[in-house]
């Protein structure tokens, strides 16, 4: 099997596998190859970058410096969030309303978490209500198995 990048008259580039180079030539000559985007049958081989295997004596590419430390910090932050959520009350889509009421002193302050639209979250921030996005998405209690 061989793969070619093909290009139609409309400049669409697409990949097609053939049994052999001869099979491509035969199918193209019979008009059997069509662009999947526009249906044009006037296709030609597109320029392809050669697949060059790396030398056998090369060292495997390593993660960028600091990647492991970043992953560890992210995991610690996610763990901290999980502990805080255990102490917090799920308020669902009423989050913005309840957070605002606590900020204005209408209800006692308590740790809560829930859902807010981007517009609601921006409004809370503009009003000075202390809110923060969650690092790891929370599955609502009613949606859990």
The pLDDT of residue 94 = 95
DSSP string, 58-116: SPPPPPPTTHHHHHHHHHHHHHHHHHHHHTSEEEETTHHHHHHHHHTTSS----EEE--
CB atoms under 10 Å from CB of 4, counted, come to: 19
Over pLDDT 90: what percentage of the chain? 26
Q: Which residue has the higher pLDDT, 51 or 72?
A: 72
CB atoms under 10 Å from CB of 95, counted, come to: 20
Give the closest residue to 33 by CA, choosing from 66, 59, 7.
7
What does pLDDT average to over the chain? 85
Predicted structure pTM score: 0.50
pLDDT of 46 strictly over 90: no
66-109 confidence digits (pLDDT tens): 788 888 888 888 888 888 888 999 999 999 999 999 999 999 99
- Sign for the CA dihedral angle at 138, 139, 141, 145 comes to negative
Banded pLDDT at 128 (limits 50, 70, 90): very high
Distance between CA 4 and CA 62 in Å, rounded?
A: 31
């Amino acid at each position: 099997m061989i793969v070619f990048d093909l290009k139609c008259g409309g400049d669409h580039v697409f990949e097609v596998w053939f049994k052999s180079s001869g099979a491509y030539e035969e199918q193209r000559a019979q008009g059997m190859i069509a662009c999947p985007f526009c249906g044009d049958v006037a296709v030609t081989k597109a320029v392809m970058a050669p697949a060059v295997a790396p030398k056998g004596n090369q060292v495997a590419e390593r993660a960028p410096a600091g990647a492991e430390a970043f992953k560890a910090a992210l995991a610690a932050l996610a763990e901290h969030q999980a502990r805080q959520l255990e102490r917090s009350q799920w308020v669902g889509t009423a989050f913005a309303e309840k957070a605002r009421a606590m900020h204005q002193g209408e209800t006692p302050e308590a740790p809560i978490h829930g859902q807010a639209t981007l517009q609601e979250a921006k409004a809370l921030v503009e009003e000075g209500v202390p809110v923060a996005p969650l690092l790891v998405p929370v599955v609502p209690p009613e949606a859990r198995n």
